[in-house]
Amino acid sequence: MSLFPNYAILNKSKLERMGQMDIKFDKVSDIPLYKQLADGIIKAIQSGELPINSMIPSERTLMETYDISRSTVRQAFDRLTKLGYLRKEHGRGSFIEMPCIEHQLGSFVDFKKEMNMLGKEAETKVLFFRIILCYPWLAPILRLTAKDYVFKFVRLHLADGEPLLLETTYLPYSRFEGLIRQDLERDSLHEIISTWYRTPITRSVESFEIYHLTPNEAEQLQCCPEDPAICKKRISFFGDIVVEHTVSITPNNRLIFRTVMEK
């Protein structure tokens, strides 16, 4: 006897064909069935059960599996499309997407605060941290010499568990001596630079370019090396002093960059 008599759950064979998408319906709930279906699919996308760019199960498959009407499925698909989880390709079908997150250009708000304002849970992983001799190409950017030392660290930023940004940052060692890996795992870079080292960033210069991911970068960002990506390069200043150089990489379907121009 089922512990949930008001629920319909898909059978095992169809569950396997649909990527283990286990969706339950409460048919006596005030929540419309189409919304329950859409929410179940969103959970499957966010958990990785339905991979990005995979084809969503057909209307007929969902109708037969869950014993629901075509109208319910179409309303769910419409909702998923409006929320950015579904894209329709003429003659091919509908494919899974992950909604883009809007990022405000020219903002000094750190990643965690920005994601929290969007209602998302932010996480940052420090993948690499080392003190190195300044690269010859980097020296003029940071206004150093090739004999100077710099901090180099790589961080992966995630929102609700999804990788959004892979960032490589360079800081002059002489200005930020004493910085350790645990500092970056606990606090934002902006907070560390501005508060701990009393070097508030007064302006930044950013540039953008189309970028081809390396296999390692694609693995970290959980996408294909062939996927188009955007590379953002930033140089930040405290007055006329260069305090950091960061190279950020993101797949082009993860973030929308927005700026406001006023006259």
In a domain, 238, yes or no: yes
**Closest-CA residue to 98 (of 39, 51, 153):** 51
Q: Which residue among 72, 96, 120 closes a domain?
A: 96
Question: What beta strand segments (E) does the chain contain?
Answer: 7-8, 25-26, 86-89, 93-96, 101-104, 122-133, 149-159, 162-172, 203-212, 228-238, 241-251, 255-258
Q: Tell me the backbone φ, ψ of residue 201, rounded to 5 degrees.
A: -75, 125
What CA–CA distances, in Å, run from 208 to 30, 225, 233, 240, 247?
47, 19, 6, 22, 10
Instruction: Tell me the pLDDT tens digit for each residue of 107-166.
Output: 655 777 777 766 778 899 999 999 999 999 999 999 999 999 999 999 999 887 878 899
In a domain, 41, yes or no: yes
Is the domain of 119 the same as that of 15?
no
In a domain, 54, yes or no: yes
Is the domain of 230 the same as that of 147?
yes
In a domain, 31, yes or no: yes
Of 202 and 39, which is predicted with more confidence?
202
Q: Which residue among 70, 96, 122 closes a domain?
A: 96
Confidence band for 35, pLDDT divided at 50, 70 and 90: confident
Is the domain of 61 the same as that of 116?
no
- Which CATH number fits the domain that encloses residue 132? 3.40.1410.10
Is the domain of 31 the same as that of 84?
yes
Q: Which residue among 50, 77, 96 closes a domain?
A: 96
pLDDT of 81 reads 83
Q: Residue 72, class by beta-carbon neighbours within 10 Å (0-12 exposed, 13-18 middle, 19+ buried)?
A: buried
Is the domain of 57 the same as that of 144?
no
The helix-helix angle for 70-83 and 33-46 (nearest 10°) equals 50
In a domain, 1, yes or no: no
- Which CATH number fits the domain that encloses residue 83? 1.10.10.10
Is the domain of 21 the same as that of 142?
no
pLDDT of 110 reads 73
Is the domain of 19 the same as that of 149?
no
In a domain, 79, yes or no: yes
Instruction: Tell me the pLDDT tens digit for each residue of 213-263.
Output: 999 998 898 877 877 888 999 999 999 999 999 999 988 766 666 666 566
Task: Look at the chain and report how many structural domains it folds into.
Answer: 2
Is the domain of 22 the same as that of 139?
no
Instruction: Tell me the pLDDT tens digit for each residue of 53-100.
Output: 888 888 888 898 888 999 999 999 988 887 778 888 887 888 888 766
Is the domain of 16 the same as that of 132?
no
Quote the pTM value. 0.63
In a domain, 235, yes or no: yes
Is the domain of 125 the same as that of 140?
yes
Instruction: Tell me the pLDDT tens digit for each residue of 166-177.
Output: 999 999 999 999
The boundaries of the domain holding residue 80 are: 7-96
Is the domain of 248 the same as that of 161?
yes
Is the domain of 142 the same as that of 230?
yes
In a domain, 245, yes or no: yes
pLDDT of 106 reads 59
